[in-house]
Amino acid sequence: MPMLTIQPSGKTVQAAEGMSILEALLAAGEPIAHKCEAKAECGSCHIVVVEVRKTLSKTQRAENERLDAIVGVSSNSRLACQAKIGAENVTVELL
């Protein structure tokens, strides 16, 4: 089972493959904004993937469009509600 490491806290939790990063964060008790019920409409769950972003699900059109509208987005930015965890461990930074 892949591990999700959360920065800046350094907390590490197990996450099921196919689970969204948002689901894993909420299951771990991490506070993260998520206003649109995981529909990629608000951008409040914007995170930065620090390590192993290639194992995550591919960015879809709705997520790309929302990320384009957010200030401060980088090439490692994802919406936690849309990024699904793959087989490898992942490290993310909460903003």
Q: Which residues fall within 8 angstroms of residue 16, CB to CB, at 6 or more apart? A: 1, 2, 24, 85
Condensed to tens digits (0 to 9), the pLDDT of residues 44-81 reads 999 999 998 788 999 999 999 999 999 989 999 999 99
* CA end-to-end distance (rounded Å), the chain: 25
> Hey, which bits of the chain come out as E strands?
3-7, 11-14, 46-51, 77-79, 90-94
Position 95 scores a pLDDT of 87
The domain tally of the chain equals 1
* Predicted local distance difference test score (pLDDT) of residue 58: 96
**pLDDT tens readout for residues 28-48:** 999 999 999 999 999 999 999
Q: What is the CATH number of the domain that holds 87?
A: 3.10.20.30
Q: Average pLDDT over the chain, rounded to whole? A: 95
Residue 21 in tokens: 């990063």
Parent domain of 75: 3-94
Q: Distance between CA 1 and CA 48 in Å, rounded?
A: 21
